[in-house]
A and B are shown apart, each in its own frame.
Chain A
Amino acid sequence: MSDVVHLKPASSAASANVANDADAVDCTDFIQDAGDGGHRLHLLVEGAHCGGCVRKIEGALAGFDDVTEARMNLSTRRLAVGWHGQAARANTFARAVAGLGFRVMPYDPISASGAYEQDGRMLLRCMAVAGFAAANVMLLSVSIWSGHVEGMTSATRDLFHWLSALIALPAVVYAGRPFFRSAIAALRNRRANMDVPISLAVILASAMSLAETMRGADHAYFDSAVMLLFFLLVGRYLDHRARGKVRFAAERLLALGQAPVTVINPDGTRQARHPANVDLGQHVLVATGERVAVDGQVVAGDGELDTSLITGETMPRHIHAGDVVHAGMLNLGAPLTLVVSATGEGTVLADIVRLMEAAEQRRAGYVALADRVARFYAPVVHGLAAGAFFGWFVLGGMAWQDALMIAIAVLIVTCPCALGLAVPAVQVIASGRLMRGGILLKSATALERFATIDTVVFDKTGTLTQGEPDLINRDAIAAADLTLAASIAAASRHPLARALVRAAPVAPLAEDVREVPGSGLVMVRDGAEVKLGNRPWCGIETNKQDDLDGPELWLRHADGTTVRFAFSDRLRDGARDVVAVLKRKGLAVELLSGDRAGAVEAAATVAGIEHWRAECRPDDKCERLAELERQGRRVLMVGDGLNDAPALAAAHVSLSPSSAADISQTAADAVFQGGRLDAVLTVLDVARRANRLVRQNFVMAAGYNIITVPLAIMGFVTPLVAAAAMSSSSIIVVGNALRLAGRRKRL
């Protein structure tokens, strides 16, 4: 073993358990007073993915006598712990969860949960109130409409109008707030958005209906006002949900840079510190299996680092004294000692995050189709309504109340119920379709952008390929050798050893196996050594030519005979077919990878991709995407690594496998589950059809307006006509959207 280990002091209670993250992160600052002598702590739990994890965590905490509450939220990966007694118990609880193998970070629920959840709840409450009001007012309105035919007395009609007013007015005040606020904000900025005509129509319709009710008139538009609100709130809430999960992933990401760092003091003692408190030039220790949290240069130890998160390389990289390592890499070999050269914001990891944020801001400039329609729509609607009012009042010589009623009718019938539903309805059905296929849409405008792409750029490792090595020369190996090698390999966590175990899963676990980090494994049997490891470790001359063959392991028997195990990163199932189909559809396909040229070329050849680039840094990928964009291309980026995150954010639209780094999933517009790459085709297919349906819906909504607006301007639109027209157009639009759900999956 490396001599770095001897730095460990014999006694140092404060720094004893380095592997445990919770030791270093002090949770006591985050404790809330729950009243009645109790305390609460909110933790972000990394690594909890299923019901089993939830049970384990809650069960462990429930085991403490003073814990009164332990609730793990699986959607947001947050854990709330409540307890009676000392505040300082917080660290014990955090450590208990960390001890189960999860990473925990305390967080402040007030700043974290933020506006998003508040907005969602408010929309839901408004929707519920509007729905209640719409159902009940409609009940009364139907009575009034049939009463007009059957001869209802005016007293009954007035009573019903007053009842409607009683229900509708508070509901409008309550449920209309999201629109009113947005409309006021837009007007302050001297702009008009879709919410301005909506607010105006709802307020005017309610106010005029109240005035009409007081006069004892025939018609009131309460039903139209609340129904309009209800339909639009449904659309608004669906829209809100569509944007959902992204934020939680982003929050979890913050935890990545905050793993504690083990600092080695000049006197040899060790101390766990927050990365922000580590000074440049200090020595830090990176234990086996730990992620590097700072950038630095190796001064002692040599071993292997998994760099896939940063560079996209499949195979671990050998590290010797003098090499530079970056935050985010994972130490697979012996403990390393580093001299810190950059921390926090200065690391390559932070650079990647910044690149991604910059790219995302650029993309925020994309205006959704619905908003483009709205920009043009609002002035037209206002113009028509104003025109109707002045036309009847000034030219037609009508009383101003009646002229205003006509103007309101124009506002109501033109009001974008169908427009407000056209996009969300299609989007929800499309995302439901995709979700059943294991694809999660994250961005609200992603479908539109998916529909327009003409170029697909793949990352290699983990996207086009499985991202893990596979034994390729099984036929050349004797079964007994494979079993022996696999049983030795079972003792290691090295990617190649794990690949061997996968190749021979029934091999028994060998005993007396020792791992020599950076070299291989050795098993002592009957006094003789059997070795499994790299070329020099097994005593084989290095031949330059063979180096290009990719990753390999050697087995050296006690008698000195050797067996070679060759590995390669296999393509995902169907990758070749997917590329072929994409090309047949006329899309350009490219491969951009951070891996070495040989590996990239091999993968590109097998997948049938002519254009490829190797050894791309994250900014190289962004650069290439920008270049494509300048050529007028619309690019779909498919990638998974941390090094892809900026490219994913910079591309016109992006897709990640669910095995991707959290940050990449955050940056991507959609995430697909499962091992097959077919998801790319499914997304494109659904997106194109969804886009067609959205456009059809807009056309239908426009057609409906062309028919009803002249009627409204001429004064023929009674509340019954308005309600019927509004509902029917909404139903037609939703029905059209449903067509997307009906058809079979096509490949």
Chain B
Amino acid sequence: MSGLLILIPAALLLGLVGLVAFLWSLRSGQYDDLDGAAERILYDENDETDQDKKGR
């Protein structure tokens, strides 16, 4: 029984972390341009693009 007191909160917390991470990625627009994201990965330079350097 005492194990449950640790395991259940731990399970809930991990699930919650996943949920928050997903909601964050959704809010930060990572699903807005799936076509573009597929193309951007092909850019040659391996560091950030020009507009990223200037800080968005």
Question: A residues within 8 Å of B by Cβ?
Answer: 50-51, 54-55, 58-59, 61-62, 67-76, 82, 121, 124-125, 128-129, 132, 135-136, 139-140, 156, 163, 167
Which of chain B's residues have a CB closer than 8 A to the CB of A67?
51, 54
Assess A62 versus B36: contact at CB under 8 Å? Given A71-B56, A125-B26, A132-B15. Answer: no
Shortest distance between the CB of A49 and any CB in chain B (Å): 10
The CA-CA distance from A439 to B26 in the complex, in Å, is 28
Give the interface size bracket for B toward A. 20 to 34
The CA-CA distance from A54 to B38 in the complex, in Å, is 12
Which of chain A's residues have a CB closer than 8 A to the CB of B35?
74-75
CB of B39 within 8 Å of the partner chain? yes
| Mask: chain B, 1-33; 1 = CB below 8 Å from A; 0 = not | 100100010011001101100110010000111
The CA-CA distance from A71 to B29 in the complex, in Å, is 12
A139 touching B11, Cβ below 8 Å: yes
Assess A62 versus B32: contact at CB under 8 Å? Given A68-B55, A135-B15. Answer: no
Assess A128 versus B43: contact at CB under 8 Å? Given A62-B50, A67-B51, A74-B35. Answer: no
Which of chain A's residues have a CB closer than 8 A to the CB of B22?
128
Q: Which of A73, A124, A136 contacts B11 (CB 8 A)?
A: A136
A50, A67, A74, A135: residue with the most chain B Cβ atoms closer than 10 Å: A74
A-B interface, 10 closest residue pairs, ranked by CB to CB distance from nearest: A51-B39, A74-B36, A62-B50, A73-B33, A132-B19, A75-B35, A74-B35, A70-B51, A75-B33, A128-B22
The CA-CA distance from A140 to B12 in the complex, in Å, is 11
The CA-CA distance from A59 to B44 in the complex, in Å, is 13
Q: Which of B11, B33, B43, B51 contacts A62 (CB 8 A)?
A: B51
Assess A58 versus B50: contact at CB under 8 Å? Given A156-B1, A167-B12. Answer: yes
A136 touching B15, Cβ below 8 Å: yes
B36 touching A54, Cβ below 8 Å: yes
Assess A124 versus B26: contact at CB under 8 Å? Given A68-B55, A136-B15. Answer: yes
B51 touching A69, Cβ below 8 Å: yes
Which of chain B's residues have a CB closer than 8 A to the CB of A69?
51, 54, 56
Q: Which of A51, A54, A62, A73 contacts B54 (CB 8 A)?
A: A62
Shortest distance between the CB of B40 and any CB in chain A (Å): 7
Which of chain B's residues have a CB closer than 8 A to the CB of A129?
19
B50 touching A68, Cβ below 8 Å: no
Which of chain A's residues have a CB closer than 8 A to the CB of B33?
73-76
Closest to B44 in A: A55
The CA-CA distance from A82 to B51 in the complex, in Å, is 10
The CA-CA distance from A82 to B55 in the complex, in Å, is 11
Closest to B32 in A: A73
B23 touching A125, Cβ below 8 Å: yes
Which of chain B's residues have a CB closer than 8 A to the CB of A68?
51, 54-56
Q: List 16 A-B contacts (CB under 8 A).
A: A54-B36, A55-B43, A59-B50, A61-B51, A62-B50, A62-B51, A62-B54, A67-B51, A69-B54, A82-B56, A128-B23, A136-B11, A136-B12, A156-B1, A163-B8, A167-B12
Closest to B22 in A: A128
Which of chain B's residues have a CB closer than 8 A to the CB of A82?
56
Shortest distance between the CB of A319 and any CB in chain B (Å): 39
Which of chain A's residues have a CB closer than 8 A to the CB of B12?
136, 167
B42 touching A51, Cβ below 8 Å: yes
B16 touching A132, Cβ below 8 Å: yes
Which of chain A's residues have a CB closer than 8 A to the CB of B43?
51, 55
The CA-CA distance from A82 to B42 in the complex, in Å, is 25
A124 touching B54, Cβ below 8 Å: no
Closest to A82 in B: B56
The CA-CA distance from A61 to B15 in the complex, in Å, is 42
Q: Which of B16, B31, B42, B56 contacts A124 (CB 8 A)?
A: B31
The CA-CA distance from A61 to B56 in the complex, in Å, is 14
Which of chain B's residues have a CB closer than 8 A to the CB of A140?
8
B11 touching A74, Cβ below 8 Å: no
The CA-CA distance from A723 to B41 in the complex, in Å, is 42
A54 touching B56, Cβ below 8 Å: no
Q: Which of A58, A71, A72, A132 contacts B18 (CB 8 A)?
A: A132
A54 touching B55, Cβ below 8 Å: no
Which of chain A's residues have a CB closer than 8 A to the CB of B1?
156
Which of chain A's residues have a CB closer than 8 A to the CB of B40?
51, 54
Shortest distance between the CB of A261 and any CB in chain B (Å): 33
Shortest distance between the CB of A603 and any CB in chain B (Å): 35
B32 touching A75, Cβ below 8 Å: yes
The CA-CA distance from A71 to B40 in the complex, in Å, is 11
The CA-CA distance from A67 to B19 in the complex, in Å, is 35
The CA-CA distance from A71 to B26 in the complex, in Å, is 17
